[in-house]
Structure 1
Amino acid sequence: MNTDLPNIILVDDHDLFRDGLKTLLELNNIGKVVAQASNGLEFIELLHHNDADLVLMDIEMPRMNGIEALQKAMEIKPDIKVLAISMFTDHQYYYDMMTSGAKGFVFKTANLEELSNAIRSVLKGGTFFSAALLQEMIIKYRQEKNQTDSQPEIELNSKEIEILTYMVDGLSAKEIADKTNLSPKTVSNYKTLMLEKTGSKNAVSLVVYAIKNQLIEL
Structure 2
Amino acid sequence: MKPQPFSLVRLLVLALLPLLAACGTSYQVSIHALNDGSSPRGSYYLLPLDERIDESDLLFRAVRDEVATAFAAQNMPLAPRREDAAYVARIAYGMGDPQTIIYTWTSFHYRTFYRHGRARRVLVEEPHISTRILYNAHLLIQAARQENKTEREQVWRTEMTVVGGTDDFPHLLHVGMPVLQQMLGSRSEGLQHFTVTEDREGSLEIADH
Q: Do both share a fold (TM > 0.5)?
A: no
The structure with higher relative contact order (CA 8 Å, sep 6+) is: 2
**TM-score interval, normalised by the smaller of the two chains:** under 0.3
Higher helix share: 1
What TM-score, normalized by structure 1, do the two folds share? 0.27
Higher strand share: 2
